[in-house]
Structure formats: C-alpha cells, structure tokens
Amino acid sequence: MQLIEDTLEGELAERLNRPLTVGGRTVANRLWLAPLAGLSHVAFREVLDGYGGCGLTFTEMCGAKSLPTESPLVSPVFRWRAAELPRLVCQVAGATPEQMIPAARRVQECGFFGFDINMGCSVSGIIKKNAGAALLRDPDAALRVVEGVRRAISIPLFVKFRTGWTPDIGPAVALARRFEDAGVDCLVFHPRVAPDKRTRPPVREHIRAVVDAVSIPVFGNGDVVSPEDCLDMLRTTGCAGVSVGRTAIARPWLFAQWTTGQTPPATCFRDYALNLADALSRHFDPVRALKRYRMFTIYFAANFTFGHALQSRFLKAKTMDEIRSVAQNHIPPDLQLVRRPNFSLYNI
C-alpha cells in the first residue's frame, strides 16, 4: 500500500511541477489557487504564501465598474502585497467592453501577472448585471468583452467559465475556440451548469472536450479534494493543470504537500487558525476582519468530525482576541479529523 501511495505522490508531483508558459510568462507549477469571493483575499494569500507550493494565486472577484478608481488602501477586494504581484492574477466581473477595458488597463498598470475575466459566477446579483455566467447566455457578448480586453492589455489574459446554462457541452467548446482565436492565453474551466451550486458532481468529461478543442492551456476546476482527485483529473482530462478553491481554504498546505511531499505538523490546524486571525487583523479593520474570519470558519470546520461544534464556538466570538482564544483552546493536535473535508457542511 505504501508503495502505491509513493508512486501516486511521485507522479502527481512530477506532473504539477512542470513549468508552464502563459502569454509569454513562465509559471513555476500547475497547481493554482482558484478565485473565491470573500475568501481569496490578501490576508489568506499571505498565509498561503507561508506554506509555498502555489503556482498562481487569484484575487477574489472585483467589480469592473469600481475598479478603475478603487484604492487598494481601503478596498476590501482590490488589495495586495507588492511581493505577490509577480504571481497574482486579478479576477474581474463585468458585462461590456466599456466596463472591462478601463479595469483591465488599471490591473496592468498596477503590475499584476494577469487579468482574469469571470464568466463563472452565477450569484443572482452578478447575473442581474449581465456579468459572470450571464455572459455565457450570449456568446457574442462574451466574445466582445474578451476582444476588447485583449486589445487593451498585453499581460496574460485568462477566462474562467462554466459549461453554460444547459448540460450540453457543445456551446462551451465552441466558445473556448472563439476565446482562443480572440487571444485568450489560458482557460480555467468548471464543468458544471451555471445554476448548479455544487449539488451534482462536476462532469470531468467536459473538461476533456474543452482541452481537445483548443491549443492554449486549460485548467480543470471542481471538487478536487485529495491528491487522488487531482491526479485523476490530470490523467483523465488531459488538462494542463488544476485550480483548487474551497479545499485550499480548508487545508492551504495542500499546495506544498502535493508538489513537494511536505507533511504538515500535528499543530497545523491550530497554527493556521491563529495565523489567519493575525493576517486579517493586519490587513482589515476589526469589523471586516471578524466578518471575513466567520466566512472562513465554514471551510475550516469542515475538516473535523465534530466541525459544527467548533464552528459554533468561532461564530460566538465577538472580537479577534476571542477568535484567537477559541483557536488556542479548542483545536488540540488530536482533534478528530475527517479524511475529506465535509462538503455538506460548506456547500454554500
């Protein structure tokens, strides 16, 4: 059994550690952090960098309309550390070239690695603005956005998108080809229909269909929880790499673990809970820091057999010092873990 596990880990690390060229720029590896609203913020990314192993990180979703004049000093989403810019992609949601072009120019001026157009978010507030996954309903409108942004910037251009609004993969394949023709450098594909809030498994065969349709890199995304999941996605879909979201929030050391074989210490969960509290306190005011920490607790608690009880303790905390007290006193090294984070707990 150990030999099988060693072989799996070796193959996974070998596949993930191959450098990749995206839009003329080199990325060190093929395991990336997916953009997550309210979660992939500057504080989390700082903690993540402490573990290492992540090839590219993505901001949480920024709004195209506000971004051109938004100040990183006060913005809750358009905020970064200078040291991370060479590996940081800014994700932006907008409905038209007129909205997206000024935002793209601002992102390039600030020195980001790349610009990512969100065509995957199906939250009602985004859909009502004809942004996010709403663009998949009108391929011509989606293409106009891509073409406008491509003409405006020279940094790598990414598009994250879903299957569409029906289970038919045909429109997504056709759109992927049009994106490549328009100058997109990399696609991140989540193989679920837009309205699906993770109630059904992603259709990995659809990733293969998109991969086979284009020559640019395609990254797979969706329900990658274990190294076995990651390797299976790489093997079965032919994708260039893997983008990990919620599992990365639950266990941020997975990037180093899967790419280098590092084993986290017995105190890793408590240390993580404390380090994130400190990072949030550095980057945000006390009210926003506490709000962001509460969002995180859903994913953190999903690691444990009795995660609901632990999350309840965190949610009762009224200050960041009380948060730290919960972490110090209620996350012993032997707290009972589940092998896979409990998706039913954080299926939001």
Q: Which residue numbers are catalytic?
A: 121
Residue 200 annotated in ligand binding: no
DSSP sequence for 179-219: HHHTT--EEEEEEEETT--SSS---HHHHHHHHHH-SS-EE
CA pair distance 287, 303, nearest whole angstrom = 26
Residue type present at position 139: P
Distance of CA 94 to the CA centre of its chain: 18
Residue 160 annotated in ligand binding: yes
CA pair distance 323, 290, nearest whole angstrom = 8
CA pair distance 298, 308, nearest whole angstrom = 8
The answer to whether 90 and 79 are in contact (CB under 8 A) is: no
> How is residue 110 written in tokens?
């600030």
Residue type present at position 35: P
Residue 246 annotated in ligand binding: yes
> How is residue 229 written in tokens?
């999941």
50, 54, 230 from 235: Cα distances, Å = 29, 20, 9
Distance of CA 114 to the CA centre of its chain: 14
Residue 262 annotated in ligand binding: no
The answer to whether 194 and 164 are in contact (CB under 8 A) is: yes
Residue 251 annotated in ligand binding: no
Q: What is the largest CA-CA distance in the chain?
A: 57
Q: Residue ranges for the binding site?
A: 91, 160, 190, 245-246
Q: Residue ranges for the binding site for FMN?
A: 91, 160, 190, 245-246
